[in-house]
Each structure stands twice: as C-alpha cells, then as structure tokens.
Amino acid sequence: MKPLSIMLLLALQICFSIVGIACGQSLVPGVMIFGDSVVDTGNNNHLLTLVKANFPPYGRDFSSRLPTGRFCNGKLATDFAVETLGFSSYPPPYSSSEAQGENLLNGANFASAASGYWDKTALLYGAIPLNQQLRNFKEYQIKVKAIAGKENATELIRGSIYLLSAGSSDYVQNYYINPLINKLQTPDQFGDLLLHSFNSFIKNLYDLGARRIGVTSLPPLGCLPASITLFGKGKNSCVTRLNSDAIGFNYKLKSAAEALKKSYPDLKLVIFDIFNPLLDIVQNPTKYEFFEARKACCGTGTIETSLLCNANSIGTCTDASGYVFWDSFHPSEAANKALAEALLLQGIGLIS
C-alpha cells in the first residue's frame, strides 16, 4: 500500500473517531461551495457568457458520461472531497433545476467560472460575482427554512463546511492581460485589493452563520499550460514570475486568515495549500503516474479552454488519466483526485 493511501486511511479513522459517527453517514450536515471554475459544477450553463463547459468533450469521463458544466473530463477535487465526507450526491448548482426541495438539504454550489475575489473580474466575463454568490446563499437559507424549519436550517448552516476557490481568474484572466490594471498596480498591490475582498467575504459568510470555512490558496499560476503559452516567452517551462506572484499572495492570504481567526474565536478557517501539491505533480509527474504535465489533454493542450475545448478540437487525447491538465487551465480528474488526497489531512481541523 502506498504511503499516501495509508495516510488517507489514518485520516479517515481520525475523522470518524473525532466526530463519533458510524461509517456510511456524512461527517457534516452539508457542504456549501463558492468561487470559480475550479469548483463550478454548472452554474454558468444558462448564463450569457462564453465561459462554459456544458458540451463535449467536457464530462466524457464523469459517471453519466455527459457534460455537466464542470471544467474537467470527470470529477472535481471538491467532488472527491464531498464523497470522502460521506455524501452520496453532490451539492447541486444553485442556478440549476436540481436546486430545489430536499436536494438543498445537504448544501449547494454557488460557484461560477471566471469569478474571483474582485467582482469586476466576474463582470468582465458575465459570470456570477462573489458578492452575488453570497446573496444567492442568503436566498438559499430562506428556502431551506421553508423546507426544513428554522431549527434544522440553523443546524445545517452552522454545521456545514464552506469551501471557497478564488483568485486564479483575477490574475490570469484579468490582471495579467489587462493593461488598464497591470500598468497601474504591481502584482503585490493587486493582491492587496483581492485580500480586502477576501476579508469582506469571510466576515459576511460568518455573519450568515458559517463557522467551518476552507479556502484554497492560489495554485502555481505559472505552470498552467495557458500561462506558459501566453507568458512564457517561448520557453517550455513554468513561468517563474507568475509563480512568485502566487507565493506572495498565498503568504498574505494565510496571514489574513490568522488575523480573522483571532477576531472570531469560534471560526474554523483553513487555508488549503494547493500550490505545493500541484507544483510537485507538475515537476514530478511520474511519481503520481502521469506522463504529461506540460500540455493538456484537450486540443493542442496549450491554450484551449471553455469553447476552445470542444468536440471538434484537433488532437484531443483519448485517455486523460496520464495528463495532469484536462484543458489549458484546469486539472484532469486524475489530477483532481491526487490533489484531493493531498489536501485531505489539511482539512481535518474543519471536521473536528
């Protein structure tokens, strides 16, 4: 048995012993998901936006073999996390027809591809801004109270785990390509602007009842295939400048989280380090049984995402399991599984 598998088993044993519930039951009453395309499961499907993934070949390796709106060939890291927590179904996209009645009683997904900490990033692409995602969550609470009653709704809201993925779109799909911003602000200054939004989001989510919040750090932005293509100046390796920006932001993000926990003693707030696990996978792909870490599976693997990754994309691989990236921005299902396993131990504090 691999060391990682042993760690997973130990982690699960710890989780179950701490919570004191039997196997087969969920560890928490629900999961609420906010953020961007890394966690969006279909909220962009009916928006007037080009940033969608509700068409083939997206979803070709999902259980239904159908595109759902996930920017992946199969499951997202959050899907694996939800399964590990003991749920038999995933939180429905809040804007979908699935999000009604008892389907809402285990949580919901409010994320929108191309959204970020800065609402202007989402508006640039016609996505759902983070502040609107919060307003949707308020509306969700009203619906749950009507379905389950105030007491049950309060228990669900307070006991659920809240997951947030944001920041990548702010940098890669806005700051780096927008001279109206990058000529006026350094990456560090832009990061401070995003951190202001982060602090505001966490405080507002806390005021709405959240007590267990997990936030992903920025990934190694310079290792995304699209970043290497767009900003690598012809080199076939991770863009150091972009990775350095991500490291700087992640350091500040962690410091901001520590300050928030001091202000709210009953808040469990974990910053999931996704930078180092993904960087290790990219730099040592064979260690994780991958053979391609530079190019994505879809199309040429260098720039395709969303509408550019489609059923007619020339060169799309037949088996994505050996690829770290599915499209030029997003990990494959196999990589998402590896990332979910790497992040599991980091999240035990949210469950205990």
Could you tell me the two tokens for 228?
């290497």
DSSP-derived letter for residue 59 is T
* 46 classed as catalytic: no
- Return d(Cα 263, Cα 48) in angstroms, integer: 40
* 327 classed as catalytic: yes
How many C-beta atoms lie closer than 10 Å to residue 28's C-beta? 19
Cα atoms in the 13 Å half-sphere on the side-chain side of 218: 29
Q: One of 36, 37, 168, 169 is an active-site residue; which one?
A: 37
- Return d(Cα 72, Cα 301) in angstroms, integer: 13
**CA 352 to mean position of chain CA atoms:** 22
269: left (phi over 0), alpha (psi -120 to 50) or beta: beta
> Measured in Å, how far apart are the chain's first and last C-alpha atoms?
27
Q: One of 36, 79, 245, 327 is an active-site residue; which one?
A: 327
Measuring CA to CA, which residue among 217, 224, 170 is closest to residue 342?
Answer: 217
* 37 classed as catalytic: yes
Measuring CA to CA, which residue among 235, 203, 230 is closest to residue 308?
Answer: 230
Scored b (16 or more CB within 10 A) or e, 271-306 reads bbbbbebbbebbeebeebebebbbbbbbbbbbbbbb
- Return d(Cα 8, Cα 76) in angstroms, integer: 18
Catalytic residues: 37, 327, 330
